[in-house]
A and B are shown apart, each in its own frame.
Chain A
Amino acid sequence: MTLATHAGKRPVERRGVFSKKLSGIIEPYLYVSPALVLILAVMLMPLVLGLSYAFRDIRILNPFSGGFVGTAHFETLMSDQAFLGALINTAWWTFGSLFFQFGLGLILALLLNRDFVGRRLIQALVFLPWAVPTFLSGLNWAWMFNPVVGPLPHWLTSLGLMAEPFNILSDPDLAMWGPIIANIWFGIPFFAITMLAALQSIPKELYEAASIDGATTRQQFISITLPFLAPTIAITLMLRTIWIANFADLIVVMTKGGPADSTQIVASYIFTQAFRRLDFGYASAIAAVLLVLLLAYALAVIGLRRAMTHADN
């Protein structure tokens, strides 16, 4: 009797267990779903949409555009001299800015890591460029290079570096240095902040031990400071490379990519294609190429870092 009733109930019980198990599996996903939906909406959707534009003919002013064109944009791109020029300019812009931003930022961090009167005030002041909106910095620097309103050309002339005051932003050979200098000024605080934070995490006893071991200041820098900074240096250099390569604000404000495309970088070229020529399809194709290039760069750096840390262990 009892056996029979038990046997009769079993399937019902089993179903209960199964649905309980199923809800147990689904439950955590339900909890994270709002975040997932948000991520999909604000990150994945625009990415997919943007990539799809690269294969379509989208020109804002042409009501008949919108058709699928396959890889036509990419084929045009291969022979687009302006794009190749922009690629070279991007490399120049990125590494020219990065080299000085990092070098000067590190020196500044080392100086700020010493004890001196008014250190806190100076530290606060040094980080000011970071707080200025980029288009304002761009406008200011453009004016500073302008001999009519700015002092820089006159100073350079007095120093004998310039024959007569002129605007370097209008000289195709020199124009790139304008935005690069503005970018260096703008980017030093980032490296100074991060390097200073890393420097302050180095235990003082290590320097004391090294000084007793017989290391000079230079040897201490090489065998203690640099190894301690290395992980921070690697990650900040990688991040900054990507940011600067994508960072067209200063160029758009100061030179608009000119004169004669001499300061056109890929990011500003995309801007020009999309918002001046209003060719969103072609601009998206360039953006896709830039995305692939930067992804490849990031993977290379991460791979290098992993190889280095493996060698470490």
Chain B
Amino acid sequence: MASIEIANARKSYGAVDVLHGINLNISDGEFIVLVGPSGCGKSTLLRMIAGLEDITSGDISIAGDVINDLQPKDRDIAMVFQSYALYPHMSVAENMSYALKLRKTAKDKIADAIGNVADILGLSALLERRPKALSGGQRQRVAMGRAIVRKPQAFLFDEPLSNLDARLREQMRTEIRKLHHRLGATSVYVTHDQIEAMTMADRIVAMHDGIIQQVGSPVEIYDRPANIFVASFIGSPAMNFLEGAYETTADNGDQGAGIRLSDGSLVPVLPAQGASTNQPVTLGARPEHITIVQDAANGLPARVDLIEPMGLSTLVHATLAGKPIKIFTMDRPDYAVDSFIHVAFDMEKVHVFDSSSELRLPPLTEPHTGHSD
């Protein structure tokens, strides 16, 4: 196992820049998830670590050695592909032993290694089968087995669960996590699914347009998103955004603040660092940080558009100040469509973003952390 350092790595295809200077240190044994929408460069970055794409400039090191010019086979990494990329004409056992055979490992050692890994992954009964005779989940496991059996320095996963159905994906998510606990292997996992990112990562790397937007633990990313992109991408249902102007209020000597929405209503917020009066800002509030209040005096009026029961909870779609918002509630509300409700924002939990830079303006009370990376 080893650490991976990526220093100012860039990738261009001709005149098109795909990655603009990526800096990232992955420590030994860490499970890192690269997350972002399609085309954000996350898969390219993974393939650069694997050696399947050239590095235009910058350095990538594994265990302290720069591996820019090494062939994939000399980097001592293993990769799990989205399509699994199993060799169709080889049995499960042959698929898993291929890399060991190429390294001229002794036959009894190969048999031991395969038996071991097959036990861990529950593949023992399938060793003689061809990939085409396996289900999607089993193929996925064989692809994992092929990676594990080599005991590489690092595991690279390229959206390995996207071809599975929802239930199986949930199950494999847990299994990969457990496997990581067991093996303690440095892992880089690429996904566009923010739930996979949240549930699996030690640290999430949120990427957009070839730039790292934020690096941090799942909770950190969720609770303190660095900008509007991260705030909107992580979390489902997604965060609500309302544009307005920042206002400071002085109430009984207490320093207060609020955001004046387009319909003139004021949403109280914690005073934000570096925000000035009348500055255009965006209010960010997760659906669970908006509450429906019975008392009209304590809330802002919103028109109900749709009630979406989700079993555990209910999602209320409404319109506030001309903008659609979603409200998460554990109650079972039965409002009629087009009826009016009153909503209040959790002052401690909502975020203030600068509308022009889209960066989050943290509350004065929050200790200044800067970038954790």
| Chain B min CB distance to A28 (Å) | 35
The answer to whether B87 touches A212, judged by C-beta atoms less than 8 angstroms apart, is no
Interface flags, A129-149, vs B, CB<8A=1, else 0: 000000000000000000000
A257 to B89, CA, bound (A): 46
- Chain B interface size, as a band, is 20 to 34
The answer to whether B130 touches A223, judged by C-beta atoms less than 8 angstroms apart, is no
The answer to whether B79 touches A223, judged by C-beta atoms less than 8 angstroms apart, is no
The answer to whether B50 touches A212, judged by C-beta atoms less than 8 angstroms apart, is yes
Interface of B is mostly: loop
Interface flags, B61-73, vs A, CB<8A=1, else 0: 0000000000111
| Chain B min CB distance to A291 (Å) | 35
The answer to whether A208 touches B85, judged by C-beta atoms less than 8 angstroms apart, is yes
List the B side residues contacting A227 at CB < 8 Å. Answer: 89
The answer to whether B85 touches A206, judged by C-beta atoms less than 8 angstroms apart, is yes
Spot the interface stretch: B97-105, B230-238, B342-350, B351-359: B97-105
Contact A213 to B77, CB < 8 A, known contacts A205-B83, A206-B85, A313-B130:
no
Q: Is residue B229 contacting chain A, with contact meaning CB distance below 8 A? A: no
Q: Is residue B340 contacting chain A, with contact meaning CB distance below 8 A? A: no
Q: Is residue B204 contacting chain A, with contact meaning CB distance below 8 A? A: no
A312 to B128, CA, bound (A): 11
Q: Is residue A17 contacting chain B, with contact meaning CB distance below 8 A? A: no
The answer to whether A223 touches B85, judged by C-beta atoms less than 8 angstroms apart, is no
The answer to whether B85 touches A219, judged by C-beta atoms less than 8 angstroms apart, is no
The answer to whether B87 touches A206, judged by C-beta atoms less than 8 angstroms apart, is yes
List which A156-214 residues lie within 8 A (CB) of chain B. Answer: 203, 205-206, 208-214
Interface of A is mostly: helix
A224 to B89, CA, bound (A): 8
The answer to whether A212 touches B73, judged by C-beta atoms less than 8 angstroms apart, is yes
Q: Is residue A215 contacting chain B, with contact meaning CB distance below 8 A? A: yes
A210 to B95, CA, bound (A): 10
A215 to B146, CA, bound (A): 14
With a 10 A CB-CB cut-off, give which of A205, A212, A216, A228 has the most chain B CB atoms.
A212
Q: Is residue B337 contacting chain A, with contact meaning CB distance below 8 A? A: no
Q: Is residue B52 contacting chain A, with contact meaning CB distance below 8 A? A: yes
List the A side residues contacting B99 at CB < 8 Å. Answer: 213-214
Q: Is residue B290 contacting chain A, with contact meaning CB distance below 8 A? A: no
User: What are 18 inter-chain pairs, A to B, with CB distance below 8 A?
Assistant: A205-B81, A205-B85, A206-B87, A209-B146, A210-B87, A210-B98, A211-B51, A211-B71, A211-B73, A212-B51, A212-B72, A213-B102, A213-B150, A216-B73, A219-B102, A223-B87, A223-B90, A228-B89
The answer to whether A208 touches B87, judged by C-beta atoms less than 8 angstroms apart, is no
Contact A211 to B87, CB < 8 A, known contacts A219-B102, A313-B130:
no
Q: Is residue B78 contacting chain A, with contact meaning CB distance below 8 A? A: yes
A142 to B77, CA, bound (A): 59
List which B6-61 residues lie within 8 A (CB) of chain A. Answer: 50-52
| Chain B min CB distance to A224 (Å) | 7
List 4 A-B pairs, minimum CB-CB distance, nearest first.
A205-B85, A213-B99, A214-B73, A209-B85
With a 10 A CB-CB cut-off, give which of A203, A208, A214, A312 has the most chain B CB atoms.
A214
Given contacts A213-B98, A213-B150, 14 further A-B contacts (CB under 8 A): A205-B81, A208-B85, A209-B87, A210-B98, A211-B72, A212-B52, A212-B72, A212-B73, A212-B77, A212-B78, A214-B99, A215-B73, A215-B102, A223-B98
| Chain A min CB distance to B86 (Å) | 8
| Chain B min CB distance to A313 (Å) | 7
The answer to whether B83 touches A312, judged by C-beta atoms less than 8 angstroms apart, is no
The answer to whether A209 touches B89, judged by C-beta atoms less than 8 angstroms apart, is no
A215 to B101, CA, bound (A): 10
List the A side residues contacting B89 at CB < 8 Å. Answer: 227-228, 312
With a 10 A CB-CB cut-off, give which of A206, A209, A214 has the most chain B CB atoms.
A209
With a 10 A CB-CB cut-off, give which of B51, B71, B75, B102 has the most chain A CB atoms.
B102
List which A106-137 residues lie within 8 A (CB) of chain B. Answer: none
